[in-house]
Amino acid sequence: MHSIGNVNGQPVICIIGDTEIPTFLNLSEEEKEYALRLFSEKRNTVFINSYKKFTALVRIKNDLPIFRQHEELRKAAVELRSDIINSGFKKIMITGFNAESSMVTAFTEGLILSFYKFDKYRKQKPGEKKLPELIIVNADIQEDDFLWLKNTCEAVYATRDLINEPPRKMTAHAFAEAMKHLGTEGGFSVEILDKNRIAALKMGGLLGVNSGSAEPPQFCIMEYKPLNAVNSNPLVLVGKGIVLDTGGLNIKTGNYMDMMKTDMAGGAAVAGALCVIARSGIPLHVVSLVPVTDNRPGPEAIAPGDILTMHNGTTVEVLNTDAEGRLILADAVSYASKYDPMLIITIATLTGSAAMAFGNAASAMMGTAPDELMNSLIKAGEEVFERVAPMPFWDEYSESLKSDVADIQNIGEREGGAIIAGRFISSFTSYPFIHIDIAGTGMLKKDDQYRTKEGPGTGVRLLSAFARNLANNLKTQK
């Protein structure tokens, strides 16, 4: 690595691959001894602060797998967050020594994502100082990787903003307008279907869930199709867009409604992922679909016992109006067939069952796609540490969805609920299908390191990394 010159007096964070202290940091012998002593005590982050000087050393945990090393660096960034902000410096340099460039970008990613705050509605802002500009110096980072880092962090911020908006602001119409804005900024096409066009397509699931609302539904169609796309059949991403879930006539009780403005986190995630893919120029044809509505107990709301006719003609007996996400996703998945997709991925804050199974440590993953694609999604999850946990998807889980009065009913047995919900959605397509349930990871009650509470933006980094890896694999096969 090249010298970065005299940094004496300059704020710098150095990611180091061992315990050797780089000379370019210009630390005194006393400061070096202090750092080495802490390293010997198994400390991996050392902060040295003196008059007009800010130096932080972050040691890589070389005894861990690479993807865990990256995550530990993201978490180390959170440890330094307050010191960095309180330092008062306008610029902070980040560099590496005996460290791969990916280690530097992982730390930087964790730091940027930890800076996020949603405070636009606060009359008095929190008393934190202005965030410093981060400058990566001589870390041998390729331009494409730097662009990916920038695009990813910006997309996660945009996704978090969408999720955190209050229900009166983030209505179905407002969500659709936000998609148009993202398309303009991100470089992909956006088409919004209004209620009349949704009705013409006979999307009975979306219309049924919307029937209790004072505002009409929207169906967002976003597409990125570069001229150099390596896939002849598109990847279709489908996200749940329930901007507020009251449960409908099966209304949520207690405090179960408190976080339900975040029930469109899946829809926001597929839009955010498309932003990353398009702005980074990934040579992959990708379509993102988001059916959007709230779920309210209005005068015309669907009731348990109602029967809906879906986009593909299937009839559904509604036994619980709080199992609404699968109804709108089913219409979107059915609509996705028009693209003859290579793969359909749905992502949704869908079931408490998934949250109970994995908490916020992993998202539930299931589906009919080939093992190669499922394993690729698992790998992408490890890469960005938005891990997915495979669940069985046996035919037997569909047994409890059989209805006496319709083709299918919208809920089954409580046991295995996450899988049963996935089986319901999968019955509306014959294409390779993966379902990701982010009920435990897409809405948090408190900050989880650099993942902020309520709207962490789960799925943006996962789906983006999966798409990039998929494009690379397809290019290799050609």
Residues marked as catalytic? 252, 326
Say how far apart CA 339 and CA 431 lie, in whole Å. 10
Q: How many CB atoms lie within 10 A of CB 40?
A: 9
Say how far apart CA 27 and CA 45 lie, in whole Å. 16
Q: 369 in helix, strand or coil?
A: coil
Residue 344: HSE in the Cβ half-sphere, 13 Å Cα cutoff: 30
What phi and psi values does residue 181 have, to the nearest 5 degrees? -65, -45
3-state helix, strand, coil in the chain (%, to 5): 40, 20, 40
DSSP letter assigned to residue 71: H
Residue 221: HSE in the Cβ half-sphere, 13 Å Cα cutoff: 14
> Nearest-CA neighbor of 106 among 382, 458, 454?
382
327-358 exposure pattern, b = at least 16 Cβ within 10 A, e = fewer: bbbbbbbbbbbebebbbbbbbbbbbebbbebb
Say how far apart CA 256 and CA 304 lie, in whole Å. 20
Q: Which residue, chain included where needed, has tokens 């899988």?
A: 419
* Integer CA distances (angstroms), 57 to 13, 286, 440, in order: 6, 40, 34
Say how far apart CA 153 and CA 430 lie, in whole Å. 35
The encoded tokens of residue 347 equal 């992502």
